[in-house]
Amino acid sequence: MAKKDMKFLFVTGGVVSSLGKGISAAMIGRLLKRRGLNIFSIKLDPYLNVDPGTMSPYQHGEVFVTRDGAETDLDLGHYERIINTSLTKESTITSGKVYSAVIEKERRGEYLGATIQIIPHITNEIKERLIAGFNAKGDTDVCIVEIGGTVGDIESLPFLEAIRQMRRELGYSNTFFVHNTLVPYLHTTGEIKTKPTQHSVKELTGLGIQPDALLLRGEKKVDKASRRKVAQFCNVPDEAVISVEDMSIIYEVALNLQKQHLDDLIVKHLQLDCEPVAKMDDWIGLIDKIKSIKEYVNIALVGKYVELHDAYISVYESLKYAGYEFNKRIKVSWIDSEKLENDETLFEEIKKADGIIVPGGFGLRGTEGKMMAIKYARENKVPYLGLCLGMQLALIEFARNVLGHKDANSTEFNENTSYPLIDYLPDQYKGINMGGTMRLGDYDCCLLEGSKAKELYQASEIKERHRHRYEFNNKYKEEFVKNGMVFSGTNPQTGLCELIELKDHPFFMACQFHPEFKSRPLNPHPLFKGFIEASIKNEQKL
């Protein structure tokens, strides 16, 4: 059989950033997947960090972790959730990664004395990585590549040049360019303005890229006459100008694109052999369900980066998906853990919540506030879900207030603690493969017979994604067990603690891993489902 052609769909953005081009790209992916195609996604990020792992969540939102342990941009989370797929380390390419690879090769003498330049060395490296992404899973039919930033930025030029070359090399029918722009609506005159789009396309064509479709983002639907005008000025067919107005429910974006036949256009252009229509019945069902939900469940999310909700986007999404299962919307009270430490009125918010969640985090700041919330949940039988740091702090709180070890701590926060129950012990990782000092990506977890975890998962062995450095030291386990702590999930290779739960509590569960990365709109994660179900019961109790 002849080798399949590589097909790439490139997504760029113009006029302003934050257009939601990642969402649109993911929705295109969903439509194509529902036409029977296998989709891989790549995000190209123009910044010079090698990966977003070290970036402040305040600047860049959450770090999303793939199953093979890559620390990536949060947009990859949208791709995984919306397309319902799992990605790999090949799906994230930053300028930092590209430049450092090229410089390393230069130092090794791999370029045989050539002068190293942006073109061709950087652009070749980008192209090689795009092709590696296409081949990463072995079954990809279409690879969707989102170029971060805005056309016209200095930083993204090498990426744009690389994708321009890709069309030359792979051919017209194997490449499709989607450009997203902003179409502002002027309230004073009641007009839609297309000029910024025209300028942005001009900029893009100046770089040698002629878009095949334009997605016009705005608060209002872009009428047919305006779309025609854009088509004419930007040199694209009428049917390739798509209005992507704000939708009340995000999943409607896919249906809106489908209604305007964007997927048909792509399939035809890329000459894809697939189903004639994307079956979206389950999503239509989900949208109808969300529209009909009237009741809320109140969840207090206690964290240090709550001012930027994007820092907890996967957690928030996972809560919402679990809520839909029980016909509830989630009302999140975003509680700043540091403020909680000396603000009693803020503690009232905790008391009002039906359930309390402490997500992951790094560093000492705010940890005492988080433990105050955990103590409240434990003592007052309020459902609690702890994620990663949320598990470590639950164990520290228990050691201090139940077992009476007042000095109990993690060596992350106090290196000299006399009771280092959360610790970094290099030999703790004997038996498992580790890249750096962090445990990243999928690890096995065996669930204890008779535990709530086993009941929720309906499985004995699971795999979950990790991103942390410190671990519970099993040396202290026995005293915890005697006092009602259940170690319900364990890594079989190392014996490391993965999941804990409390006996005699309606729902007190915490895990060392990040379940939020595996939750999907139509398939919420079992731990989140259990947590929301318990929170609803708690609400009804009042």
Give burial (CB, 10 Å; 0-12/13-18/19+) of 386.
Answer: buried
Establish if 388 lies at the interface with ligand GLN (CB under 6 A): yes
What span, in angstroms and rounded, lies between the C-alpha atoms of 407 and 396?
9
Which window, 109-117, 242-250, 283-291, 360-368, contacts ligand GLN (CB under 6 A)?
A: 360-368
Size of the residue set binding ligand GLN (CB under 6 A): 10
Q: Catalytic annotation on 155?
A: no
Nearest approach, Cβ of residue 313 and ligand GLN (Å) = 14
What span, in angstroms and rounded, lies between the C-alpha atoms of 83 and 90?
17
Establish if 70 lies at the interface with ligand GLN (CB under 6 A): no
Q: Please, which residue, 388 or 445, has the CB nearer to ligand GLN? A: 388
SS3 string of 116-162?
CCHHHHHHHHHHHHHHHHHHCCCCCCEEEEEECCCCCCCCCHHHHHH
Establish if 362 lies at the interface with ligand GLN (CB under 6 A): yes
Q: Which of 9, 241, 253, 389: binder of ligand GLN (CB under 6 A)?
A: 389
Nearest approach, Cβ of residue 468 and ligand GLN (Å) = 3
**Cα dist. 470→372, 424, 515 in Å?**
21, 5, 17
Strands 439-447 and 485-490: antiparallel
**The one catalytic residue among 388, 445, 446, 511:** 388
Nearest approach, Cβ of residue 443 and ligand GLN (Å) = 13
SS3 string of 396-422?
HHHHHHCCCCCCEEECCCCCCCCEEEE
What span, in angstroms and rounded, lies between the C-alpha atoms of 181 and 127?
25
Q: What is the DSSP letter of 2?
A: P
Nearest approach, Cβ of residue 412 and ligand GLN (Å) = 5
Q: What is the DSSP letter of 520?
A: B
The CB-nearest residue to ligand GLN is: 360
Nearest approach, Cβ of residue 252 and ligand GLN (Å) = 33
| Residue where the block lists tokens 């081949």 | 135
Establish if 412 lies at the interface with ligand GLN (CB under 6 A): yes
In angstroms and rounded to an integer, the radius of gyration of the C-alpha atoms of the chain is: 25
Q: What is the largest CA-CA distance in the chain?
A: 75
Q: Catalytic annotation on 317?
A: no
Q: For the window 416-455, what string marks contact with ligand GLN as x by the rule CB under 6 A? A: ----------------------------------------
**The one catalytic residue among 143, 514, 525, 533:** 514
Establish if 78 lies at the interface with ligand GLN (CB under 6 A): no
CB atoms within 10 A of CB 195: 11
Which window, 27-35, 70-78, 167-175, 356-364, contacts ligand GLN (CB under 6 A)?
A: 356-364
Q: Catalytic annotation on 446?
A: no
DSSP string, 287-339: HHHHHH---EEEEEEEES-TTSGGGGHHHHHHHHHHHHHTT-EEEEEEEEHHH
Q: Which of 29, 61, 360, 515: binder of ligand GLN (CB under 6 A)?
A: 360
**The one catalytic residue among 80, 146, 397, 516:** 516
Strand partners, 214: 179, 241
Q: Please, which residue, 80 or 412, has the CB nearer to ligand GLN? A: 412
Q: Please, which residue, 454 or 465, has the CB nearer to ligand GLN? A: 465
Which window, 31-39, 53-61, 193-201, 354-362, contacts ligand GLN (CB under 6 A)?
A: 354-362
Residues 469-508 that bind ligand GLN (CB under 6 A): 469-470
Q: Which of 121, 179, 467, 505: binder of ligand GLN (CB under 6 A)?
A: 467
Q: Catalytic residue numbers?
A: 388, 514, 516
The residue ranges that bind ligand GLN (CB under 6 A) are 360-362, 388-389, 412, 467-470
